[in-house]
Chain A
Amino acid sequence: MQKSLHIDPVKCTGCRQCEMACSYENYGTFNISKSRIRIFDFEHTGRKVPYTCTQCAEAWCLHACPVEAIKIDTNTGAKVVIEDVCVGCKVCTIACPFGTVNYMADLGKVQKCDLCGGEPACAEACPTGAITYIDADWTGLDKMRQWAEKTGNQASA
C-alpha cells in the first residue's frame, strides 16, 4: 500500500511543530525557513493551511530536470531530489505548478518534500491530526465516513 500526506486545514492551529520537525529531520536544526512544509495564515478568515508537495504521479519537476536529479523513491512514491546531482538550475521550481519545490541559496540546490523515507516527521509532530500519513488511495475515507454518518442519520423523505 502506498501512503500519502493528507492535510485537513480545519484542524490546523498554526503551531509550526510540523515546520520545526521537517527542518530538524533534514538539517538537524529547528529552522522553519528550511522547512519543506509551510503553514499559511489567512488572518482575515482565521484559516491556517499547511501546504507541501503532493507527490504528483506525473511530476512536472521530475520531467523538467535537465540532469535527472529528481528520482522516484519506489517504496514511498516520493519524488526525491538527489542533492549530489542537482545543479541548482531552478527549472523544476518553474515547472512545479504548486510552488512546492524551492531553491536554497546557501546550498545552491533545490529542496522538496521526500516523505522522510516513509515516516514523515511533520505528520508525527502535528498535535491535532491536521497532517496525517495515510493510504494514498483512501485519503477521502474520513470525509466519506462523516458524510455517510450524516446521510445515514437523516430520516427518509
Chain B
Amino acid sequence: MAWTRKYLRINLTAGTVKVENLNMQWANDYLGQRGLATKYFVEEVDPKIDPLSPDNKMIFTTGPLTGTMASTGGRYSVVTKGPLTGAIACSNSGGYFGAELKFAGWDMIIVEGKSPKPVYLSIADDKVEIKDAAHLWGKTVWQTEEIIKKTHQDPLVRVSSIGRAGENGVLYACIVNDLHRAAGRSGVGTVMGSKNLKAIAVRGTKGVGNIRDPKAFMKVTYEKKKVLADNAVTGQGLPTYGTQVLMNVINEIGALPTRNHRDVQFESASKISAEAMHEKRPDGKSHLVTNQACFGCTIACGRISKLDEKHFTVKNNPQYWGASGGLEYEAAWALGAANGVGDLEALQYVNMLCNEDGFDPISFGATVGAAMELYELGLIKQEDIGFDAPFGSAEALVKMGEMTARGEGFGKLLGLGSKRLCDKYGRGDLSMSVKGQEFPAYDSRGIQGIGLAYATSNRGACHLRGYTVASEVLGIPVKTDPLTTDGKPELVKAFQDATSVFDSSGVCVFTTFAWTLADLQPQLAAALEGDWSMDKLNLMGERIWNMERQFNNAAGFTGKDDNLPPRLTTEPAKTGPAKGLVNGLATMLPEYYRIRGWDTEGRPTAETTKRLGL
C-alpha cells in the first residue's frame, strides 16, 4: 500500500508530538489527502468553532500516490475551517514539500491548539521537534526558507511556511512551499498564523516502498504519462504557455471578468497573456524564462519569469530581479483584468509579493477590484487611502499589494477580503464572492455552468471544485454550450464528484484535462490493497462532497448561501457572445439539489446519507 499508515498529532498548546496509526477503514472509504483529512477533521472538530481560535485544527495531508512515479504525484493539501468563509477549507499545493513529507514516513500531520509563542515544526524522518521560531517571526516566506536551510545546514530540507500576511491576519493568507507553490485559498495560512506556527520543515529519506504491485504500477503509470504527453492541453498547451494559455481564449468568449465584473472582456487581455510573456520586451528579453514542474509532474505548467529591471516597480529593488514563479492565469487575471490593469510587469511584481509574504492573489486581486469600484463611486476617498485608485492604475495596485503584504494602513482593510471591505462601505453587493470567497477568472454569464459550480462550491467561490470550463469551453471530455443552463446541474455534479477523488489521491487536478477517473483508477488499483473499482470511486467522490456539505450545513450555512452576487444574476453581459445574458442560477439550483439527493434547503436527505454511508 502506498499509505505510510502513520501520522503525526502535534498539540501546540501542550507542546506535544504523538505518532498515531492511520484509520485504515477511513482510508478505504476516503482514500487520502482531501477526503481522508476532511473525514478526520469533521470527526474531531465542532463545525461551530471560530476558525481563528485554538479549537480549530489544521491537517497537512498527502495522498496515497504522493511521492510515487504516478505523474504529478507530489500533491499535499491543508484541511481546516477557513477564516475567510467560515466553511470547510481544503487548499492543495504542489512543489516538493508533499512528497518529502511522505518520504519522511507520514501520511498526515494534525495540528491542534495554539502555541504560546512562535514555533516551527522540524521533521527529519522519525525525529520530530517543535522548535522556537522567534527569529523567524516577522520574516517573509522566502527569508524563512533560507534561514531554516542555513540553520539546519541542509539544502535538501523542504519548507512550508507563512509570511507576514499569515502573521498579520490577512484572511486569505496562503501557506507557501518551495518559494512559490501555495496552498492558496480560503485563508489556511491565517489559521497557521493564529496558532503561532510559522513553518514546517521536512526532510525524508525513507521513500515510498509499499506499492501493492510495483511492476503493474510502473507499467500503468508509464501508460498514463503517455496519455498526458499525447494530449494537446497537457502535452503542448500547458507546458508551452502554462495556464495562461486561457487568457485570450476566455476573453474571446466574453467570460473574462473585468473591472470587478462590470465587463466581461478586457481590452488589454493580450498584453497580459501567455503570448505576451513570450514576446521580447524593450530590454530585449522576454518575460518568461522557463517552465517548471512540480514533483513528479510530466506536464510542467509552472511559469518562471524575470522582471524588466527598469520597470517602475523594481528599478530600485534588485532583490526582485531574479527568476521567480508566475504568472499563472488566475493571478494574471485577478491582478490584471479584475482591476483593469494591463501592465504585465506590475502584475508579476505583485504576484511576487503574494508569494513572498503568502497571500492569495485571486482574493487579493478581486478585493483590489472591489476597492477600485468603491473608489470610482466616491465611497472610498483619496484622503482615506493616500493615493488615487481608479480602475486601471498599476501604481495603485502595487501600493495596495505592498501595504497588504506588510499589514500597513489601508492594506489592513484589504486583507479582510472584498466582502468585509464592501460591507464596511454599505455595498456588500459589490463583493464578487460566494460564501465570502472571491471568484476566480471565469465570468458565469459567459460560462453558465461554472456559476452553479461557484454557488455550490464547499469552500466558497472556486474553479477547482468543479471545473466545468473544461467541458463548456474546451470540450473536455465532451463539449457543452457555455451559454445555456441545460444539462449543467448534472455536469457540475459529475465534475465535483470526480474532482473530489482526484484531490484525495495525491495527483494534480490538471491531469483531468487528459485523464478521467478511468485513467486514475488503474493507478490506484495497482498501488493499493483492496477494491478500487470505478463504482467505488464514483461513490467515494459523492461521499466526500456530501461530507463537506454536511460540515458547512452544521456550521450554519443554508441554501441561501448557494448564491451569486446580484451583478451576475441581474446585470447582463455587455459585450461578446454572452451579450445580454445573466447567469441562470435560479434555473439550475433546484435541479442540482434534486440530483444530489438534497432537500429544497440544500440538506442531504436521510436516504442520501444512508446511500453514501455517512
Contacts and interface: CB of A to CB of B under 8 A. Distances in A.
Given A31-B205, A32-B103, A46-B323, A15 B218 contact: no
A124 B292 CA distance: 20
Interface of A: 13-17, 20-21, 23-24, 27-34, 43-48, 125, 127-128
Interface in B271-293: 289-293
A74 B69 CA distance: 31
A14 B96 CA distance: 10
Interface in B93-107: 96, 99, 103
Contact of B289 (A29, A46, A128): A46
B444 interface: no
B413 interface: no
B323 A33 contact: no
A20 to B, nearest CB: 5
Nearest to A46: B323
B229 interface: yes
16 contacts: A13-B292, A13-B293, A14-B293, A15-B294, A15-B298, A24-B214, A28-B209, A29-B207, A30-B68, A30-B69, A30-B208, A32-B103, A43-B179, A46-B306, A125-B69, A127-B300
B207 A30 contact: yes
A16 B323 contact: no
Nearest to B225: A127
B297 interface: yes
A21 B297 CA distance: 13
Interface string B290-310: 111111111010001010000
B291 A43 contact: no
A16 B295 contact: yes
B340 interface: no
Interface in B213-265: 214, 218, 225, 229, 239
Contacts of B156: 33
A151 B561 CA distance: 65
A28 B204 CA distance: 17
Given A13-B292, A16-B295, A29 B300 contact: no
B390 interface: no
A33 B125 CA distance: 12
B292 A46 contact: yes
A33 B157 CA distance: 11
A21 B298 CA distance: 13
Nearest to A126: B298
A44 B320 CA distance: 10
Nearest to B322: A44
Contacts of A24: 69, 214, 218
B296 A44 contact: no
Contacts of B304: 46
Given A13-B292, A43-B322, A46-B289, 6 more contacts: A15-B300, A29-B208, A31-B103, A32-B103, A43-B323, A45-B322
The list of the 10 closest CB pairs from A to B, nearest first, reads A31-B207, A29-B209, A46-B323, A15-B293, A13-B293, A127-B298, A13-B300, A46-B304, A29-B207, A44-B322
Given A30-B69, A127-B229, A20 B292 contact: no
Contacts of A127: 71, 225, 229, 298, 300
B67 interface: yes
Contacts of B204: 33
Contacts, number: 85
Contact of A30 (B209, B239, B291, B322): B209
A131 B290 CA distance: 17
A20 B296 contact: yes
A62 B289 CA distance: 40
Given A16-B296, A29-B209, A31-B103, A44 B323 contact: yes
Contacts of B229: 127
Contacts of B290: 46-48
B206 interface: yes
| Interface size class of chain B, counting residues whose CB lies under 8 Å from the partner chain | 35 or more
B322 A34 contact: no
Interface in B136-192: 156, 179
A14 to B, nearest CB: 5
Contact of A13 (B69, B289, B291): B291
A33 B158 CA distance: 13
A48 B290 CA distance: 10
Contact of B206 (A13, A20, A28, A31): A31
B295 A28 contact: no
B213 to A, nearest CB: 12
A14 B292 contact: yes
B296 A17 contact: yes
Contacts of A15: 293-298, 300
A97 to B, nearest CB: 20
Contact of A33 (B96, B205, B293): B205
A128 B298 CA distance: 8
Contacts of B324: 43
Contacts of A128: 300
A37 B220 CA distance: 24
A13 B292 CA distance: 5
Nearest to B303: A46
A61 B322 CA distance: 37
A46 B326 CA distance: 12
Nearest to A25: B218
A105 to B, nearest CB: 10
Contacts of A13: 239, 291-293, 297, 300
B69 A20 contact: yes
Contacts of B218: 24
B298 A20 contact: no
A17 B179 contact: no
Nearest to B68: A30
Interface in B189-210: 204-209
A117 to B, nearest CB: 17
A16 B205 CA distance: 15
B323 A45 contact: yes
A93 B74 CA distance: 31
